Structure 1
């Protein structure tokens, strides 16, 4: 790979960076001012503001799920006359009705927010951390370190996404941490390659030479002087990873690899499909869960779009 080359690994629809963007003079986030600049960007970009608002709503719902859910999502309910409260339509007692096993759908929807957000946020942190470390090491040290790490990223980028996650969860067990690990293993190369390109540029700046002249160690230069300059890119790819991770978790759960003891939006869709809820007209069973997945993924796109325009102001004119 030529020095300074940027390869955007996720496609345009999922937040790929434009070619050459990492070296662009339009990178508009100074070190240490990323948060303040992003807040200012929110005031100018209504789409990013909507995305942040959606995230806040779901985070609040997830934090207060124990109080908002009227029933235990796994509890089998009965009517006042002792019959199983199966497939009840939406009403005052059950806002979204009940499943074919007599479980409250609204409670499942609310409690399903927690595992979805845990997977999304955990994967975002893992992707940003691994991608940043690999990009820093490869871009700064170069040589065989760069060759080994970049060939590793090429191999991982060639792996099929969803089949790999399914295989990992099938082998290690259908647990949330295994889903997070699989998603993180496949998404970090995109961040690593862009951060590497940025490090190649920053390592030639005068402030790095000045630090080296004053006797700073290579590790201090890397993590104290260079790393803050690439953290905005880490945050950008972390934002991409949130939506991807939640979507993958829902897909894996829908296919039956999400763990039967964890209620999530994906398991709700899987239960509704297996119970033929669509054929019986139980739209309140699967539509709300599907809508929640769409909204969270859309929020991730809107936030990352606003942050991308903050990093590359020239995109606003395109």
Structure 2
């Protein structure tokens, strides 16, 4: 606890706490959104289309953040979109992290031709623009929630693999690993019992930073019409729908953009703090 408090007293620590608070608020909204007294995010009402925000100092109107071109409530769509965004991004980061960590363990531990093949695959994928690769895969398989999670995991595993491989190369030469090998421990036991616990921390930091990138990538695919499909709300899709009305109904695109910006900012601040906490040499004092 003392180390945590010392880390929080740094400037990056307070920023990390701010990011964690924003992220907790977003998660709570996503979890308890269905129980809030908000309009149906998919219900249209052409009589109330493009109603401006009705926020005053004393009360909130029927549509605090306004409505879109089909009369749907912006606030309820943002809350519902947060649930979709966190579910997709969380699942993609989990799948990508498991795959990348596993391949990084195998590559760093066994070395040789296995390491060369896996690292060349990493180099090839890193040479391809992520958005282009994601567009190609989604266009080939078709837009769906399952395909979206799969393609986001596919483009995110390489960073885990490279970081974990570098950690494994250092850990496998340490005394406790050599001792386990000397007493005849199997490869799987050495990897799972002795090496994996020592590489989980860097992988966790990468997962936190990768979450922000996956959220932006999901919003980009939804913006292009290859992500979350209507009528399900998505921040990227809301941005795409609102760009036509940016001069006449600014709130349609502004509030989803702010939600996306604050979410990515919160995740990045938390990830930077975790990186500084686990590696004090990088901390800003």
Normalised by the length of structure 2, the TM-score is 0.91
Please name the residue that 1:208 is paired with: 177
Please name the residue that 2:112 is paired with: 143
Superposition deviation, residue 94 in structure 1: 1.1
Using the alignment, how far apart are the partners of 2:122 and 2:4 within structure 1? 29
Per-residue CA deviation, residues 228-264 of structure 1 (Å, 9 max, x unaligned), is 0000111011111211111011111111222123211
Structure ranking higher in helix proportion: 2
Within the candidate set 70, 74, 78, 2:42 is matched to 74
Within the candidate set 247, 258, 266, 2:216 is matched to 247
Superposition deviation, residue 69 in structure 1: 5.3
Unaligned 5+ runs, structure 1: 1-34, 79-83
Q: Secondary structure at the match of 1:64?
A: helix
Within the candidate set 41, 60, 63, 2:7 is matched to 41
Per-residue CA deviation, residues 94-144 of structure 1 (Å, 9 max, x unaligned), is 111212212111111111111111122112212221121111100101111
Superposition deviation, residue 179 in structure 1: 2.1
Using the alignment, how far apart are the partners of 1:85 and 1:205 within structure 2? 67
Please name the residue that 2:144 is paired with: 175
Q: Is the 8 A contact 1:272 1:285 kept in 2?
A: yes
Unaligned 5+ runs, structure 2: 55-60
Using the alignment, how far apart are the partners of 1:112 and 1:132 within structure 2? 29
Further displaced range: 50-59 or 68-77: 68-77
Superposition deviation, residue 297 in structure 1: 1.0
Matches for 1:200-279 after TM superposition, within 5 Å: 200-258=169-227, 259-273=229-243, 276-279=244-247
Q: Is the 8 A contact 2:93 2:156 kept in 1?
A: no
Please name the residue that 1:307 is paired with: 274
Normalised by the length of structure 1, the TM-score is 0.82
Superposition deviation, residue 213 in structure 1: 2.5
Whether 2:262 is the aligned partner of 1:295: answer yes
Q: How many residues align?
A: 276
Using the alignment, how far apart are the partners of 1:240 and 1:165 within structure 2? 19
Q: Is the 8 A contact 2:42 2:232 kept in 1?
A: no
Please name the residue that 1:54 is paired with: 22
Superposition deviation, residue 291 in structure 1: 0.7
